[in-house]
Structure 1
Amino acid sequence: MIINKDRTFSGLSILLWEKIAEELKIDYEITRHNLPDILKSVARGELNVGVSCISITPEREELIDFSHSFYETHLAIAVKKQGYAATMKNLLTNTKLLIVLGFLFVAACIVGGIYYLLENRVNDKLYSMNTKRAKLIEGFILGLLFITKGPFNYFEFRTLPGRVLTVFLAIFTTFFIASITAMLASTFTLGLLSSDINGPNDLANLKVGAKQASTSSFYLTNQSIVHRAYPDIESMLMALNNNEVNAIVADAAVLKYLIKKHKEEGKYEELTVLPYQFEKQNYGLVIENNSPYREQLNRALLKIRKSQEWRQALNTYFAEQ
């Protein structure tokens, strides 16, 4: 839920409720509450419906009831992009990158060594240097080019074993090069974000923030990850931008939407959501236990979810730019 400058409310859950109220032809009044107060007030019968992007959990359903899910999402991690110096340090110490480069070096040595044994005495075109050491270097370069660039012309090799090997390596390197390219691209892309975080397990030794009494906070607690609790996501985003924490955890959809909106206003330009999602979440409206309006509300909700207007709203709120 978003509070506008004119003190009105907007957001995906508010839009949904407005459409439900219109469908059911009911009058309503919206008042502002934090998440724990919404759950307690609905449980005590002081509120009829709690409208927000509230995750449906077994623990909460022990106290109150929920509508059908109106949006499915996951938890996600947001970080602040690093500076060039930190990025280069992370890339140079990135274990995956070092393993890939080491594998390329070994593969080039093996391929180059095999071709050297087969071709160095009969192929003056590929091995033109006079000394054995220089020819070995040529063999390594040949192997490296074969591994990274792809197969050479079949007729560049003089021996039959060399030509047969070329055919087999041509098939192998077609897939190998594509795999290595994808792996390196992923490694460099994530290195520009935060190569230290490859998922929630990497948060244990970092300063992490989460919204108090939220699903993300409960998840981190269950995973024994110490974290700072913030009253709302806006406070979390500010803390992340000010380097008070290394990462924040919240619903992916909410993080993407708020960061997107702030970037449109020229704020938080360096914040980004990592491409790792975990712990599936289902959003629902909070309703009283045994509410007489439950069936009517759910029927209206399902009808709205199928509408083109709802799909457009999801694209507006959550599509990344």
Structure 2
Amino acid sequence: MFSVIMASQSFAETAPTNKPIVKVGSYNCPPFVIESEEKTYSGLSVLLWEKIAHELDVSYEITNHGLGELLDDVANGKMHIGVSCISITPEREERLDFSHSFYETHLAIAIKQQSHLDTLISIFTNTKLLLVIGIAFLAASLVGGIYYLLEHKINDKLYSMESRKARWVEGFLLGLLFITKGPFNYYEFRTLTGRILTVLLAVFTTFFIASVTAVLASTFTLGLLSSDIRGPNDLANLNVGAKETSTSSTFLTNHSIVHRAYPDIEDMLDALDRDEVDAIVADDAVLKYLIKKSKEQGHYEQLTVLPYQFEKQNYGLVLENNSPHREKLNRALLKIRQSPEWRQALQNYFAEK
């Protein structure tokens, strides 16, 4: 049991039964805190607190708050503890205490995937892809032209067309095949210079084809389908959303990325789905959970979380500064984190189905 019961700034107040009553503040952050229409609370953080309260033999009441309000209320002693997906940061540590971390995640970026028509348009307008195609055609023209000058008068097998224009086309096709497929058989060429050039180009085309393949794979799998966003630095010229008073908003501000602030993550997801913003930044675990649950209900079917994680986040329970109860709370928290029930809860909320 919490042994110290102080006056108005105590962690717990005395009820008629002499059992401490803890004022728990929270804000909606699925799957860590899920508020029902009946104003009841569930979720991973709520489960953790329920087990801690049972371990410490305290009663409690939970009320819902905005994130900024919740942090202020705990700092001012209006709330004894804050329970949600609250990231431990140096700035918050200056005026609050935190428990040990009970969950580790990262910031992530969510976007709205392109439709098939948009993807097709992107294929023909993607600058990187056009550059690769241009380089390939230029190299094919150069190689084909060199072989044409060396071989077209004496090599009827490679240059069989009668007109000069048709033979130029044959030369270009030869160069294109050489660049995209690799070197021809050494004995296909009749001049010594042509054969020497074949050996030299064999090395070059091996690396060229590998490079082109890597660029094309990157362009199609990441660039075309993910709006060319490969990390937070690519957000500078986009319309970006973040939750107000959150670590994601702070991160964007610190990196001079202008963004819109939304009161909660559901509003952000809705704005992204309506194309009000190009991308949103939030905690990876929360984004993936909400989008997965929404898709199960037929909503936000084009939204996806990009495979880039940055700015590690550690969630903790928040207490008033210099709280005398942090040590006992941490001992209970660590005990619960090692239990099979906690591991099963993590599996239930975050396992891929």
TM band (smaller chain): 0.7 to 0.9
2:316 is the alignment partner of 1:268:
no
More displaced 10-residue stretch of structure 1: 54-63 or 80-89: 80-89
- TM-score, normalization: structure 1? 0.83
Q: In structure 2, what is the equivalent of residue 184 of structure 1?
A: 216
Gaps of 5+ in 2: 1-32
Match of 1:105 among 137, 140, 146: 137
Q: What's the secondary structure of 1:31's corresponding residue?
A: strand
Deviations 1:71-117 (A, max 9, x none): 33332222222334443333333222222222222232333334334
Q: In structure 1, what is the equivalent of residue 21 of structure 2?
A: none
Distance in 2 between residues matched to 1:303 and 1:176, nearest whole Å: 57
Tell me which amino acid in the other structure corresponds to 2:147.
Y
More displaced 10-residue stretch of structure 1: 247-256 or 4-13: 4-13
Q: What's the secondary structure of 2:63's corresponding residue?
A: coil
Shift of 1:262: 0.5
Deviations 1:182-236 (A, max 9, x none): 3223322345545364543444444332211111222233334333222110111
- TM-score, normalization: structure 2? 0.76
Number of residue pairs matched? 321
Match of 1:209 among 238, 241, 265: 241
Distance in 2 between residues matched to 1:165 and 1:302, nearest whole Å: 69
Output the aligned Cα RMSD: 3.1
Shift of 1:261: 0.9
Tell me which amino acid in the other structure corresponds to 1:94.
N
Deviations 1:163-185 (A, max 9, x none): 55545544554444343223223
Distance in 2 between residues matched to 1:22 and 1:169, nearest whole Å: 74
Q: In structure 2, what is the equivalent of residue 56 of structure 1?
A: 88
Shift of 1:139: 2.5
Distance in 2 between residues matched to 1:145 and 1:308, nearest whole Å: 60
Match of 1:288 among 295, 309, 320: 320
| Structure 1 residues 1-321: aligned runs within 5 Å | 1-5=33-37, 7-21=39-53, 27-159=59-191, 161-163=193-195, 165-167=197-199, 169-195=201-227, 197-302=229-334, 305=337, 313-314=345-346, 316-318=348-350
Q: What's the secondary structure of 1:239's corresponding residue?
A: helix
| Greater helix content | 1
Distance in 1 between residues matched to 2:200 and 2:351, nearest whole Å: 44
Q: What's the secondary structure of 1:249's corresponding residue?
A: strand
Q: What's the secondary structure of 1:54's corresponding residue?
A: coil
- Flag the structure with more relative contact order, 1 or 2, with Cα contacts below 8 A and sequence separation at least 6: 1
- State, as a whole percentage, how many aligned pairs show the same letter: 73
Gaps of 5+ in 1: none
Q: What's the secondary structure of 2:173's corresponding residue?
A: helix
Query: Which structure's CA Rg is the greater one?
Result: 2
Distance in 2 between residues matched to 1:303 and 1:137, nearest whole Å: 76
Q: In structure 1, what is the equivalent of residue 15 of structure 2?
A: none
Distance 1:113 1:266, change over 3 A: same
Distance 1:127 1:290, change over 3 A: same
Deviations 1:15-34 (A, max 9, x none): 44345455656554433222
Task: Answer whether contact 1:16 1:301 (CA < 8 A) is retained.
Answer: yes
Shift of 1:258: 0.7
More displaced 10-residue stretch of structure 1: 163-172 or 201-210: 163-172
